[in-house]
Structure 1
């Protein structure tokens, strides 16, 4: 199968560069479009009311910071990046909506192989809802 548009879900950690390199290595021979996405936490959903913060301002600053970091990753990718997207909310819903909207046919994401990921894995959530093929890249503990 030949993929035409690859979406890389990154968490903006050091492992993001590793994922990008894997995706670029796949996209180059296929001449596929490549896009990046990061889904931030939606603070309004986790706010308990115990602290006094401006949720809208905090969300805006977080998304702006994420966009800058994502653009930095894109600038270093050594491959043309079609979209750098930042969203917030439920990871599965946001990714599925993006996949549909941008006509993505492969989702690339990482999976930490550590103690906590055995119990709390966002990748498992994606496997259960992704409408397209997925490449899950193992991210071993450093």
Structure 2
């Protein structure tokens, strides 16, 4: 199968380089487009009590920092990156919308193989919701 647009879901950790390497190695021989996405948690949706801090301003700083990190990853990739996207909210919903909007046909994501990932795995959620091919790259701890 030939993929036209590969979306790499990054958590902005050092292990993200492994996912970028895998996506680029697939994209080069196919001439595929590659895009990056990072979905931040929307703190305002999670917190229901009173808090003395400007949530919107804090969220903007987090998104700016995420975009800066995605630019660094784009330089590391040494391959043209079509889009570097940052969103916030529910991972599976945001990815599903991004896939449709940007005509993605493969999503590359990582899965940490550690104790906590057995209990709290966002990858399992993606397997059940992503409407295109999904490449899960194991990240050993």
TM-score range, shorter chain: over 0.9
Unaligned residue ranges in structure 2 (runs of 5+): none
* Structure-2-length-normalised TM-score: 0.98
Residue 31 (str. 1) matches residue 31 (str. 2):
yes
- Corresponding residue number in structure 1 for 2:94: 94
- Corresponding residue number in structure 1 for 2:8: 8
Q: What RMSD over aligned residues (CA atoms) do the two structures have, in Å?
A: 0.8
- Work out the CA distance in 2 between the residues paired with 1:104 and 1:137: 18
- Corresponding residue number in structure 1 for 2:135: 135
- Corresponding residue number in structure 1 for 2:68: 68
- Work out the CA distance in 2 between the residues paired with 1:21 and 1:87: 23
- Work out the CA distance in 1 between the residues paired with 2:12 and 2:66: 8
Q: What is the number of equivalent residue pairs in this alignment?
A: 141
Unaligned residue ranges in structure 1 (runs of 5+): none
* Structure 1 segments of 4+ aligned residues over 4 angstroms from their partners: none
Secondary structure of the corresponding residue to residue 76 of structure 1: helix
